[in-house]
Amino acid sequence: MHAPSIWLSSLSLAAAGGWFAATLFAAGPATSKEPRFPQLTMDQLTEAQKPLGEQIMKVSSVGLGGPYNPMIRSPVLGQRLYDLFYYLRWQTSVPTKLNEFAIIIISRQWRSQVEWFAHAPLAAKAGVSANVIAELKQGKRPAGMAEDEAVVYDFVTELTTAKKVSDETYARAKKIFNDQQIVDLTAVAGNYVMVAMMLAMAEETVPPGKEEPFKVGEN
């Protein structure tokens, strides 16, 4: 990415001022129920929400869609999260390929439709191989991972499933990452658990006409 776009920035979507209307991230797929958080437009924002909305619109290719839609309902929290997102996507010490790989590991654990839809293309663009992404999507520990990818996979997976990182895995991580990178890697994993929770709670889904990555009945 050359221009910052914190969310879905690799997708070929209309300009931020265009296609982010109410249909962009509607309620859950194939349902007629009312959305939990109807899509907001800039002219609907309160005075408390407008400053954050203006910041989002400067960097987001989907306007106020995705996690921004529920976040902006709590503008003080939303601002704090926006700043955190910005750091963890554009200023983190973790190399982009490994950062995006960590994000899609979390996305797969949560089967987060929007997160995977957004970040699998970014991981591929950053250099994660198609085979690794495909096997991860199938719920497997991917074969053929590079050494640094394997460290990220084991570090993030142990942390989120075993609720700890083994001495062996930590020692492997220390051979590749410095202290700041280990802290940032932990933070990006935790952050995207929170994002997945926000998206699940709000029943945000992929844009209309786009296929959901995870199908009902799949593991």
- In a domain, residue 171? The reply is yes
Please give the mean pLDDT across all residues of the chain.
Answer: 86
Which residue ranges of the chain lie beneath pLDDT 70?
A: 1-32, 61-62
Domain containing residue 147: CATH number: 1.20.1290.10
The rounded distance, in Å, linking the Cα atoms of 167 and 58 is: 43
- In a domain, residue 13? The reply is no
- In a domain, residue 210? The reply is no
- CA 16 to mean position of chain CA atoms: 18
- pLDDT value for 109: 97
pLDDT tens digits, 97-117: 999 999 999 999 999 999 999
Count up the domains in the chain and report the number.
Answer: 1
Which candidate, 69, 68, 93, 91, places its Cα nearest to that of 81? 68
- pLDDT value for 207: 81
DSSP conformation letters of 24-91: TT-SSTT--SPPSSPPP-GGG--TTTHHHHHHHHHH-TTTT-TTHHHHTTSHHHHHHHHHHHHIIIII
pLDDT tens digits, 153-167: 999 999 999 999 999
- In a domain, residue 215? The reply is no
